[in-house]
Chain A
């Protein structure tokens, strides 16, 4: 196990290096420059001075080595759109709300989704199944910003139960969490139902039943564990996309999260922030995939992490 994890960590570093390199050079292809968003009032001489100030007048390969050297020392540079603000500060300040929101949506959404999927499987082809199916289809097909808009309109503006936006305490996170959790909920419910039905129909469950194992024990001890494998597979990547913030939800609820920052850094050619956020998302993604792989082994010992060596 330890050997496996060390091996994976080495691969991680290599992957990150490749991602950083590719992003760095792809970024150069973005149209425009970081300093042109001034309604055209800036002269070319002025722009040259700014390019010099930020070291952008050097040839791209030189910039690349400078950036990589700085990054190894934990310095992600200075943002262009916020004068003199360090990229690390921006990321640290803004990852909090996004991660909190994502974690809440993920935990509540996946637990409810798994429960809903299980109920649907147990009550196969009965009304509970139909209702859960309809809910799942709606959850998958309607985008979260529609939910957000509807929730905001009824719960905040019309009935005034929750505040319409901002990020000032737990109560403020209720509506965005609900809007954000609909999708993981629906996905979990769908996967759970399909898997559960398959598992419940398998031979070893029949055997357990024949041996007189209680219904609850069959469901939670034998069936659930096996049915969880595909759910975990989809949950991994979803964790990253939820925790790194969703542009639309953050905008609708005026939450100072990082998803919006990422998108805007691209449209404003804020190179250091693009690099910083891309690296952050990549690290998170790779770590989550590693965790998922380890979890497979915990849930189903038949999956061997060191596989491929025999």
Chain B
């Protein structure tokens, strides 16, 4: 009996030890001064900038590293390691010569040199390193990039060179009018060769294995829990960095985020679903424009009903038959904008007049009567009375709301139409779209660089992302011109792209729905964070500030 009791006691002791040993110990919380407290809905998948391909990784790569240029609030591109005013562009637009500042340093005191850029870019395009963005952004643009990525040439053959420590030359295969955006994108960062080779497989896995050259450096990173950044005093422009630190907590649940904001543990939270409606009268509520546009796609190459979808009246009927404002109200409940275009507003301006790219098109405006007229014509031309279309969507709450809404709207406005909804997981949805095995679906696009071609290029015949089977010779010609011969003629190029968008809309290649807005609650002392950048990373933490009105003591 005594023995058994002893055993029990021992068991309890072991358990207690185990229990107390496993709380998150407080390595964090050692930050003073102006600290911004925010949340993230996911951990950072990687801190190796060339592998970054999601919002979170790219955002924090931009925060701790610095490339040639940097994104300032509202998408302005400013000098980074390279002095922007001194950059030389050759007459044919194919050679860029960047002059680097001489006072830029890595965290360990090494100077940031042109060789670091050469190594960083070569490392990115090296197929062994598996960088998705390097291929996406460099191939076909930077000299030899595509061949290197396909393994035909060595990474050293990339069209970049460093004639001296502070001069970095990039050779392009063709002019890239938006190359400034590239120079500010985290895939195009310098890399410290010695440090990376020294770290080997541990590189970028923990704060100690990261070498920063940007406004902040990482001090703590606990998987799926939290990470902390403090101001990097060795950064060349440290005196213009306002925040002393940034503390980020991983919180996946929207209500938990809001609770933490309400008790003062967070300075800013994104809102979702019902939270938007509940908080609209809160003085701390903000609604911010994004440059993501959403649309309904029609697959013209669908095996079963492709020939119907190829009829322009058929598509126009579908495109005009649903209420876009109601769609936003039902699915998002916020003040996103219903739109009739697919290149976003507030994104790019005319190079001479400064006017917005969007001049307002209404060919695809919601109009039930017009939709019914098109539907009637389509029925006559294609000789059908009844029609069943399948509508592909995801399996999240939001995606289900979307498919149910579209089913109700389209079925009640277009006589004889039946919509079969098909809700599948996100991964499967992408695969079905890629195989073009769908009939109708909703999808969207956000730009990676500041140029309308990012959107316009989507629907070029047999384009990599053209999963709607759209094809129009005039459209293709305009896109080719914008990507080629017009590269050095900004006004004509701009207008060619406007023309291309018009063609696609008049043929209802897709059915635009909305340009998204994001809703947040933000304390009034958080400054320079009330707009999203129109491309690239959402925020530029270098410029964010906290100004609390502290009482002046006499």
Q: Does A222 contact B (CB under 8 A)?
A: no
In the complex, A62 has a CB within 8 A of chain B: no
CA distance A41 to B22 in the complex (A): 41
- Judging by beta carbons under 8 Å apart, are A82 and B43 in contact? yes
A280 contacts B by Cβ under 8 Å:
no
Q: A256 in the interface, Cβ–Cβ < 8 Å?
A: yes
B255 touches A100 (CB 8 A): no
Quick one: CB contact mask for A79-104 with B, threshold 8 Å, 1 for yes? 00111110000100110110110011
Task: Give A148-176 interface residues, CB cut-off 8 Å to B.
Answer: 149, 152-153, 156-157, 160, 163-170, 172-173
User: Nearest A residue to B433 by beta-carbon distance?
Assistant: A40
Indicate whether A138 reaches chain B with its CB closer than 8 angstroms: no
B45 adjacent to A82 (CB under 8 Å):
yes
Q: Which segment, of A2-10, A28-36, A66-74, A190-198, faces chain B?
A: A28-36
Q: How far is the CB of A152 from chain B (nearest CB, A)?
A: 6
List of A residues within 8 angstroms of B428 by Cβ: 31-32
Q: Which residues of B contact A168 (CB under 8 A)?
A: 23-24, 26, 28-29
User: A211 interface residue, CB < 8 Å from B?
Assistant: no
Tell me if B19 and A253 are in contact (CB < 8 A). Answer: no
Given contacts A37-B430, A164-B260, contact A256 B132 (CB under 8 A): no
Q: How far is the CA of A30 from the CA of B425 in the complex (A)?
A: 10
At the interface, yes or no: A202 with Cβ under 8 Å from chain B?
no
Which of B29, B256, B428 counts the most A-chain CB atoms under 10 A from its CB?
B256
A49 and B223 contact, CB distance less than 8 A: no
Within 8 Å of chain A (Cβ to Cβ): is B329? no
Asked if residues A269 and B427 are in contact (CB atoms below 8 Å), the reply is yes
Task: Find chain B residues with CB under 8 A from A99 CB.
Answer: 18, 22
CA distance A157 to B252 in the complex (A): 18
A-B contact count (CB 8 A): 158
A294 CB within 8 Å of chain B: no
In the docked arrangement, what's the CA distance between A36 and B435, Å?
A: 13
The minimal Cβ–Cβ distance linking A270 to chain B, given in whole angstroms, is 11
Which residues of A lie under 8 Å from residue B32 when comparing CB positions? none
Closest Cβ of chain A to B106, distance in Å, is 21
A157 close to B222 (CB less than 8 A): no
In the complex, what residues of B have CB within 8 A of residue A84's CB? 46, 48, 201, 204-205
Whether B464 is near chain A, meaning CB under 8 Å from some CB there, is yes
Residues of B within 8 A of A153 (CB): 259
B223: chain A residues at CB < 8 Å are: 82, 85, 90, 93-94, 256
The verdict on B426 contacting chain A, using a C-beta distance below 8 Å, is yes
Residue in B222, B251, B445 whose CB lies within 8 Å of A165: B251
Given contacts A38-B53, A38-B132, A165-B251, contact A32 B425 (CB under 8 A): yes
Task: Tell me, rounded to whole Å, the shortest Cβ–Cβ distance linking B223 to chain A.
Answer: 5
Given known pairs A97-B24, A254-B256, the reply for A103 and B431 (CB within 8 Å) is no
* A267–B424 CA distance with the chains assembled, in angstroms: 12
A251 at the interface (CB under 8 A from B): yes
Give the distance to chain B from A144, nearest Cβ to Cβ, in Å: 14
26 contacts between A and B (CB under 8 A): A36-B427, A40-B434, A40-B443, A42-B132, A42-B136, A43-B136, A81-B45, A82-B45, A82-B46, A83-B45, A83-B51, A84-B201, A84-B205, A90-B223, A93-B222, A94-B224, A99-B22, A103-B15, A157-B262, A157-B263, A164-B265, A169-B26, A251-B252, A254-B252, A254-B260, A267-B427
What 18 additional pairs, Cβ within 8 angstroms, besides A41-B136, A252-B255? A31-B431, A40-B434, A49-B130, A53-B128, A53-B130, A83-B46, A93-B222, A96-B22, A103-B18, A152-B256, A163-B263, A164-B265, A165-B251, A166-B249, A172-B24, A251-B253, A254-B250, A254-B252
